[in-house]
Structure 1
Amino acid sequence: MYFFETSERKRYAQVACAVVWCLFGAGPIFGFAALKPTLIDQGIYESVCDVTNQTDVSIAAHAPGLFTELLTSLSPVRADQLHTEGFVSKCTDQDLKLNMMFTVGAALTNVSALVIGRTLDSYGPRVCGLIGAFFLLLASVIFIYSKAILSLGIFDPYLVGYSLMALGGPFSYISSFQLSNAFPEKSGLILALLTGAFDTSSAVFLIYKKIYLSFPTFFTLETFYKFYLAVPLFIAVVQLLVMPVESYLTPPPELIPNPTDEQRALSIAAAQEEYIHNGMSQDHADDNDNTPLLPPTSTRRRSSLGDAYKSIYIEEEVEDATKSKTELSYSIFGILHSYSISYQFNSWWFKLICLFSTIQMLRLNYFVATVNSQYTYLLGSYQSANALNRLFDIALPLGGVVSIPFVGMFLDHFPTSIVLGALLGVSLLIGVLGVIKNSFLAGAVNVLIFVAYRPFFYTSISDYCAKVFGFETFGTVYGSIMTVAGLINFLQSVLDRLTHTKFNMNPIPLNLLLLAITVVIGTATVAYVTVQTHKYALMKFKGNTSSDDEETEAGNHDEN
């Protein structure tokens, strides 16, 4: 369906509802660092510990420094309310089982991306959103009755409940992407709002932690999820009463009634993009008869996710096509557009970004799950690590909101090779800061850079996929990258166990290993993209110059 088939007021309501449910349901599982201390304090998985066992975390007795005390003052909780001993896992097995909740949840969030994209294309956003609401509702019910389920020994309610939340979040979140076409001239703003809401949703468990610390006997996990039932119920109601059945798509220019100047410009750009796209298909076919191409536009299945991003990029594609006629353009936009999905999967463009994304996501999620235990070792003080953890709890949801505008400007003004180089550089900086011992300042800087890097990474990967692979295969390619990364993310549990057993809670050896792998894969990715970018720029310029010469010769021939 097209935006002009729905009233403007209803479209505003749809966007507002989507932002609200993304704030509370899109990605709360990534607030695990805030949730984990409350789980420990409530004795979750404590039964796996022998009562004579002591925690494996070494806690020094020295008081936190001045900078630590400053950060501690950010929290309203007094030192005597922290129940320090209750917030440290009683044994290795308890800590590993708690971390496994996040490992499985993070992996499922990524693995589900491909399935969600297919569901969205086949059944529409309403069905996709209702599935998300169902998973969140089921997760809430399981947590509410977790003690009864645990006593019956049917299944692990905490692992299953958290996993269902991990599935419900992306089903609800991704189903809202198509709303970018509800207001084509504001598509970038809408996607930024949804992305910011997703990042902010990790604060759900931070809010729970704050309330729990004030009312530990009343606001238990079961009580929290009784309140949280309102989220899936809200999603279900608005999906049935407010949200569209079908995804909003980019309309052909001739169909828009009384278009505004911006809508008219976007429609013209969309028509030009289609012309460029079809021209590229013919060029590929002429260059190599054996290269598998996408079918003609009329017979091609439209990707809802790709179409959601299309309005943002069509003007850039047209601008690049125009610019490359007169000067070298280092944009990689369109380099694999129109190629078949099998050809794209077999290209180094896909293989390298898939490897790079996988190692980055493994590092990102491993840090989220173990930030407290890592810095308890690195700083030699639980109090210092706890202050740093509280900074992380607050900064993580704010990171996306603050950094997204700057990320957007960076992606708009720099070629992809520079963007990937920046990703690699910041990633290496995080890795170096993550092995520095006895420096609270280094830890705080690391946390602040990390929370800004996370949205930068995810936005850059989706930007790369749109520019390199195109909109028709965007959902499949991006979903495949997330799926591979999600499957590899299960290695997080192996890293966690090695840290607890082999390295006696010392995170430095594995952090250095992950850093070394990042150097190898990241350098290869940046080098390949840089070389291919220059080749593509020359190819576009020479191709356009040749076309202009042919047109001039044809004109002279006609005059003669």
Structure 2
Amino acid sequence: MKESSIKLIQIACAIIWCLFAAGPIFGFAALKPILVDQGVYSELCRPEGNAFQTTKVNDPSVPCTAQDLKLNFMFTVGAGTTNVAALLVGWVLDLKGPRVCGFVGSALLALGSLSLAWSHKISLLDPYITGYTLLAIGGPFVFISTFQLANSFPKRSGTILALITGAFDTSSALFFFYRLSYQNWTPDLTLKKFFTGYLIVPVFISACQLLVMPKESYKSLGAVQKLEVEGLDMEGNLPEGEDGSHIIPDENERQSLLSAHSSSIRPVLSNSRRKSVWENYVEAKLEKKTNGIFGVLHGLPAKKQIKSPWFVLMLAFTVVCMLRINYFVATVRSQEEYLLGSHKKAEKMNAIFDVALPLGGVVSIPFIGLVLDNCSTLTAMATVAVISVTIGVLGLLHSFTLNLLGILMLVAYRPFYYTVVSDYCAKVFGFDTFGTVYGLLMCISGILNMSQSLLDKTTHKTFKMNPTPVNLILVSLTVITSSSLLYFVRRESKARLERMHTLQQLGMTQESSEDSQLEYGT
């Protein structure tokens, strides 16, 4: 079989398992009605009139307060753990490679499935939280280990990463199809039957690792990110088999770049090692395109980068945005029921959200690429901030139409936000430390997102199911953190552009002086 055919099979296998295993836990809104119907945590409910009871006992489709909080906490732990695991995944990848990473992920998925399938026989620990958490950790292991496949076809690296990311976003539809089947065709499809059948997924992943996936050592996350952003390998050279046409379409310009004078082309402000001709050219263009943001902390140790305002302010913004997204995913039905004042309308909105969440990521991927390719980093970040605040404001209103608009914006915004954060980290901190810095950003955000359960309890008990106060606080924090980040980046970008301009003027003056000396023979 041709090498290209093997690579295509590898990519196809990765996309298939990402569709089923990369991030199904984010389909919690679709799974929750099934958990309630099958009585998960129903033992926490008390007779009507008790402080824990907020709904009629004879309405099994609506959980009592204690049950609702425990179910939401299950998602909170899972979603937080997913992001915390990013740092662990990067460490295992760098140390052992993608094959071991795939085996670890498939083992975690299998254990999680068994925990949920045999929950009625497990008493030493909470089988639901344990099982959901294991699925949450297994997802990043099998997902992130596929990024190396972007190196298979360097000219199509962006497309490959887009397909893999799209599969991750679509994986939240797994529980939606489960709910659809459970409520309409197979009411006997219990948790035990579903998760026993789901074991075929980790088996498939393990088989692919043994029979299909590449054996060579893992290319670091920074290498993949560099290929995506610059079109170059980690050494700053063209990938094997490339002629540079994907970077510089004009042949004359390519030949000029490789001429004797091309070594003078270099980024105006660079802290990095000695760079190749191609790297100099690409990074000089990126510095101009991003208004000086690209390369601002390249070459510095990760410790210094993490202590800088560039990291701290992005961390604050990321924590708030992630908290808002996961809080809504966990509580969409109860929020809409309060805001719309109708159980049926809330069910309808929940059903729309279940479909829109996986589709949103897939539909928005081409537009995300267009924005990042044609807009500066600051413009992309400002767009994320404006959309985030708009979604928050729409979520405060008692209107079905406006709430629906907010949900549709949210499902498209979610992958856009994650992509912009990743792009920011690559351009600001560089590729050598990308895995560490980005992994730490996601890890800290995941840990702090555990406070979601506190917000949930406050909504239930203090505000009597009214989500507006908590959402108002989160929107305010979004405005504060995004404004602070944008102000800082804009200020630093302006100062950096001024320095670049000054150095360029000095370079032109020096070149003019050298020409004069040659003209007069001095």
Are the counterparts in 2 of residues 280 and 338 from structure 1 also a CA contact under 8 Å? no
Q: What is the CA-CA distance between 1:243 and the residue it aligns to? A: 1.0
| Structure 2 partner of 1:195 | 165
Q: What is the CA-CA distance between 1:259 and the residue it aligns to? A: 4.4
| Structure 2 partner of 1:78 | none
SS of corresponding position for 2:297: coil
Are the counterparts in 2 of residues 179 and 247 from structure 1 also a CA contact under 8 Å? no
| Structure 1 partner of 2:419 | 459
| Structure 2 partner of 1:76 | none
Aligned amino acid, residue 25 of structure 1? A
Are the counterparts in 2 of residues 253 and 264 from structure 1 also a CA contact under 8 Å? no
Distance 2:240 2:312 in 1: 44
Query: Within 5 Å, which residues of 2 pair with 1:82-93?
Result: 85-89=59-63, 91-93=64-66
Residue by residue over 1:258-307, the C-alpha shift from the partner in whole angstroms, topping out at 9 and shown as x without a partner, is: 546647969x89x99xx99x9779954xxxxxxxxx78899xxxxxxxxx
| Structure 2 partner of 1:124 | 97
Pick the aligned partner of 1:520 from 464, 469, 480. 480
| Structure 1 partner of 2:218 | 247
| Structure 1 partner of 2:311 | 350
CA separation of 1:222/1:97 partners in 2, compared to 1, >3 Å: closer, same or farther? same
Gaps of 5+ in 2: 224-232
Pick the aligned partner of 2:382 from 411, 414, 421. 421
Pick the aligned partner of 1:446 from 400, 406, 417. 406
Distance 1:451 1:282 in 2: 38
Distance 1:43 1:338 in 2: 55
Are the counterparts in 1 of residues 82 and 136 from structure 2 also a CA contact under 8 Å? yes
Residue 393 (structure 1) aligned with residue 367 (structure 2):
no
Q: What is the CA-CA distance between 1:331 and the residue it aligns to? A: 4.9
Are the counterparts in 1 of residues 236 and 275 from structure 2 also a CA contact under 8 Å? no
CA separation of 1:451/1:259 partners in 2, compared to 1, >3 Å: closer, same or farther? closer
Are the counterparts in 1 of residues 97 and 218 from structure 2 also a CA contact under 8 Å? yes
SS of corresponding position for 1:86: coil
| Structure 1 partner of 2:37 | 41
Q: Which has the higher contact order (CA 8 A, sep 6+)?
A: 1
Q: What is the CA-CA distance between 1:320 and the residue it aligns to? A: 3.1
CA separation of 1:252/1:262 partners in 2, compared to 1, >3 Å: closer, same or farther? farther
Are the counterparts in 2 of residues 22 and 198 from structure 1 also a CA contact under 8 Å? yes
Residue 9 (structure 1) aligned with residue 5 (structure 2):
yes
Distance 1:523 1:550 in 2: 40
Query: Within 5 Å, which residues of 2 pair with 1:9-158?
Result: 9-52=5-48, 85-89=59-63, 91-149=64-122, 153-158=123-128
Aligned amino acid, residue 60 of structure 2? G
Are the counterparts in 2 of residues 331 and 416 from structure 1 also a CA contact under 8 Å? no
SS of corresponding position for 1:472: coil
Decide which moves more: 46-55 or 332-341: 46-55
Aligned amino acid, residue 7 of structure 1? E
Q: What is the CA-CA distance between 1:338 and the residue it aligns to? A: 1.0
Aligned amino acid, residue 498 of structure 2? L
Q: What is the CA-CA distance between 1:415 and the residue it aligns to? A: 1.2
Are the counterparts in 1 of residues 268 and 503 from structure 2 also a CA contact under 8 Å? no
Distance 1:539 1:255 in 2: 30
Are the counterparts in 2 of residues 202 and 396 from structure 1 also a CA contact under 8 Å? yes
Are the counterparts in 2 of residues 364 and 454 from structure 1 also a CA contact under 8 Å? yes
Are the counterparts in 1 of residues 292 and 497 from structure 2 also a CA contact under 8 Å? yes
Amino-acid identity (%):
45
Are the counterparts in 2 of residues 56 and 505 from structure 1 also a CA contact under 8 Å? no
CA separation of 1:472/1:382 partners in 2, compared to 1, >3 Å: closer, same or farther? same
Distance 2:152 2:136 in 1: 27
Decide which moves more: 502-511 or 549-558: 549-558
Aligned amino acid, residue 488 of structure 1? L
Pick the aligned partner of 1:503 from 430, 445, 463. 463
CA separation of 1:258/1:99 partners in 2, compared to 1, >3 Å: closer, same or farther? closer
Aligned amino acid, residue 162 of structure 2? A
Residue by residue over 1:20-56, the C-alpha shift from the partner in whole angstroms, topping out at 9 and shown as x without a partner, is: 1111100000000000000000000001112435885
Aligned amino acid, residue 430 of structure 1? I
Decide which moves more: 47-56 or 356-365: 47-56
> Aligned residue pairs: how many?
496
| Structure 1 partner of 2:446 | 486
CA separation of 1:224/1:338 partners in 2, compared to 1, >3 Å: closer, same or farther? same
CA separation of 1:251/1:335 partners in 2, compared to 1, >3 Å: closer, same or farther? closer
Are the counterparts in 2 of residues 281 and 338 from structure 1 also a CA contact under 8 Å? no
**TM-score normalized with structure 2 length:** 0.88
SS of corresponding position for 1:225: helix
Distance 2:317 2:25 in 1: 23
SS of corresponding position for 2:418: helix
Gaps of 5+ in 1: 1-5, 60-83, 285-293, 299-310
Distance 1:464 1:238 in 2: 33
Distance 1:130 1:484 in 2: 26
Are the counterparts in 1 of residues 335 and 466 from structure 2 also a CA contact under 8 Å? yes
Residue 341 (structure 1) aligned with residue 314 (structure 2):
no
Q: What is the CA-CA distance between 1:200 and the residue it aligns to? A: 0.3
| Structure 1 partner of 2:134 | 164
CA separation of 1:58/1:316 partners in 2, compared to 1, >3 Å: closer, same or farther? farther
SS of corresponding position for 2:124: coil
Distance 1:254 1:297 in 2: 9
Aligned amino acid, residue 310 of structure 2? W
Distance 1:372 1:107 in 2: 21
**TM-score normalized with structure 1 length:** 0.82
SS of corresponding position for 1:43: coil
Distance 1:502 1:128 in 2: 44
